[in-house]
Amino acid sequence: MKPDLAIDGTFYIDGMLVRTSVGIKDGIIISVRKGIDASERVSFDNSIILPGAVDLHVHFREPGLTQKEDITSGSISAAFGGVTCVGEMPNTVPPATTPDRVERKIELFRSKSYVDFIIYAGLMEGVRIGPLSSVAAAFKMYMGSTTGDLLCDDPDVQWDLIRRSAEAGKVVIVHAEEESRRNRISERNLRDHYRARPPACEIEAVRRLAVYSEREPKPRIHVAHTTVREAVDLNHPQNMTFEVTPHHLLLDYDMHLGSRGKVNPPLRRREDRTSLLRLLESGMIQTVGSDHSPHTLEEKGDEFDYAPSGLPGVETLLPLLLNMVANEELSMQAFVRAACEKPAQLLGLRKGRIAAGYDADFAVVNMKKSVQINADKLHYKCRWSPFEGMYGIFPDSVFLRGEEVIRNGALVGKPRGRNASA
Ligand code: DOR
Ligand code: ZN
């Protein structure tokens, strides 16, 4: 079979940088070897070619909250940041808790998204797991309250929903903050927000999840945005995995971010960042996800106590972490594992690896091109970033299933996103 396209360059393949060619047909990698003959070819010098990142944690806010973001602006931001597949969370308005609503979101993404996507359904008492599991890629459970009304804090209900999700063969992504361990205090700054949702909130919730994970039928639980080492260190079974966000790795409560740094779970201490980074490097934390949760500047400008929690990050995830790789703070191996391979593997997507049979999604990066992050140059509708002024390595070109969506730093693609879990 002759490929439609061959790309020549230095690829990151199974832990190594290899000078080779990749042959692509109908958007899928069909061969990886030197000397591929193809109808069309492109070549990249002075760059390395990585798998496109798979960000399992975004909130693109459509439908219902499109003053903050929408599928068009969110997915264009993802593409510019080298993210070729996103996992969309259910706390939209209305929330994605019925098969009809999940299908409606799939249709919206299909017509608007510039990158591939998967759609999650929200778990709450009374949802119909069977019908939902045939349309949603995975489920999301909120053990603690945050943006939206998807709280599920009753242990009996939690286990019932997790058990039935396991029977349906679905991964449950969990917002693990124990509601009863929150401190109802009035908050003026990031340290107060930390005290309102102390580490015990997360540790307690993860401890409970570890108990659920031991039961039959063994559920697949992925703990979203882990912030403390103690939670990951609990003696938990193999079927429980962890995500960390770039903001919990790179920001802490002593930074002067005001309500722009208000997020759930909260930014922690500087030393927590160091331990999270170690856990990411060692593979004890399996994935990195942005938890891209934009709010408008107007909303964030409210008094700290009333300002909503959440910050944008889908466009800066890969750039910030690649900058850490360039500074030798993180290995390339750990980066590709956590940003590409593991998230795809977790949900059974043929993405995140440069190998025959996988989608031809790539981020082409020049590791010497580190630039300062400037929200005016990002593509979020909310027009701000908590990482303003920090350094990032943005991809020059990005491929989605064999077609360039970003070329030389400009958007050239069309909205041809596909449901990657279908
Ligand atoms: O800070 C947060 N914001 N944490 C979440 O879990 C939800 C998110 C949002 O949707 O705004
Ligand atoms: Zn989230």
How many domains would you assign to the chain?
A: 2
Alpha carbon distances (Å) from 204 to 88, 191, 197, 199, 307: 26, 20, 12, 9, 26
Q: Which residues sit opposite 31 in a β-bridge?
A: 23
Examine residue 422 and state whether it is found in any structural domain, yes or no: no
Catalytic residue, candidates 291, 359, 361, 396: 291
Do 214 and 234 sit in the same domain of this protein? yes
Examine residue 314 and state whether it is found in any structural domain, yes or no: yes
Do 202 and 337 sit in the same domain of this protein? yes
Do 323 and 396 sit in the same domain of this protein? no
Phi, psi of 172 (to 5 degrees): -110, 120
Mutate to test the pocket of ligand 1, among 264, 290, 295, 381 (most ligand atoms within 8 A of CB): 264
Q: Check which CATH number belongs to the domain holding 45 and give it.
A: 2.30.40.10
- Please classify residue 391 by burial: count the beta carbons closer than 10 Å to its beta carbon, then call 0-12 exposed, 13-18 middle and 19+ buried: middle
Do 260 and 216 sit in the same domain of this protein? yes
Q: How far apart are CA 85 and CA 58, in angstroms?
A: 10
At 236 the pLDDT is 83
3-state secondary structure the chain: CCCCEEEEEEEEECCEEEEEEEEEECCEEEEECCCCCCCEEEEEEEEEEEECEEEEEECCCCCCCCCCCCHHHHHHHHHHCCEEEEEECCCCCCCCCCHHHHHHHHHHHHHHCCCEEEEEEECCCCCCHHHHHCCCCEEEEECCCCCCCCECCCHHHHHHHHHHHHHCCCEEEEECCCHHHCCCCCCCCHHHHHHHCCHHHHHHHHHHHHHHHHCCCCCEEEECCCCCHHHHHCCCCCCEEEEECHHHHHCCCCCCCHHHHCCCCCCCCHHHHHHHHHHHHHCCCCEECCCECCCCHHHHCCCCCCCCCCECCCCCHHHHHHHHHHCCCCCHHHHHHHHHHHHHHHCCCCCCCCCCCCECCEEEECCCCCEECCHHHCCCCCCCCCCCCCEECCCCEEEECCEEEEECCEECCCCCCCECCC
Q: How far is the CA of 233 from the centre of ligand 1 (A)?
A: 24
Q: How many residues are present in the chain?
A: 422
Alpha carbon distances (Å) from 45 to 229, 258, 363: 40, 42, 14
Examine residue 294 and state whether it is found in any structural domain, yes or no: yes
Examine residue 399 and state whether it is found in any structural domain, yes or no: yes
Examine residue 353 and state whether it is found in any structural domain, yes or no: no
Q: How far apart are CA 213 and CA 209, in angstroms?
A: 6
Do 45 and 91 sit in the same domain of this protein? no
Residue type, 184: R
Is the beta carbon of 133 within 6 A of some atom in ligand 1?
Answer: no
Q: How far apart are CA 118 and CA 421, in angstroms?
A: 6
Do 298 and 369 sit in the same domain of this protein? no
Examine residue 355 and state whether it is found in any structural domain, yes or no: no
At 235 the pLDDT is 82
Sign of the dihedral through C-alpha 109, 337, 331, 366: negative
Mutate to test the pocket of ligand 1, among 57, 67, 91 (most ligand atoms within 8 A of CB): 91
Do 306 and 387 sit in the same domain of this protein? no
At 148 the pLDDT is 86
Do 60 and 114 sit in the same domain of this protein? yes
Q: How far apart are CA 109 and CA 104, in angstroms?
A: 9
* Residues 6 or more apart in contact with residue 216 via CB below 8 angstroms: none
Do 246 and 374 sit in the same domain of this protein? no
Q: Is residue 193 annotated as involved in ligand binding? A: no
What tokens were used for 398? 């990005």
Examine residue 418 and state whether it is found in any structural domain, yes or no: no
pLDDT tens string, the chain, 422 residues long: the values are 899 999 999 999 999 999 999 999 999 999 999 999 999 999 999 999 999 999 999 999 999 999 999 999 999 999 999 999 999 999 999 999 999 999 999 999 999 999 999 999 999 999 999 999 999 999 999 999 988 889 999 999 999 999 999 999 999 999 999 999 999 999 999 999 999 999 999 999 999 999 999 999 999 999 999 999 999 999 888 899 999 999 999 999 999 999 999 999 999 999 999 999 999 999 999 999 999 999 999 999 989 999 999 999 999 999 999 999 999 999 999 999 999 999 999 999 999 999 999 999 999 999 999 999 999 999 999 999 999 999 999 999 999 999 999 999 999 999 999 999 99
Domain that holds residue 59: 52-346
Q: How far is the CA of 294 from the centre of ligand 1 (A)?
A: 9
pTM reported for the whole predicted model: 0.98
Q: Check which CATH number belongs to the domain holding 86 and give it.
A: 3.20.20.140
Q: How far is the CA of 310 from the centre of ligand 1 (A)?
A: 5
Do 56 and 30 sit in the same domain of this protein? no
Examine residue 416 and state whether it is found in any structural domain, yes or no: no
Do 59 and 40 sit in the same domain of this protein? no
- Picking from 294, 319, 346, the residue at the C-terminal end of a domain is 346
Do 337 and 289 sit in the same domain of this protein? yes
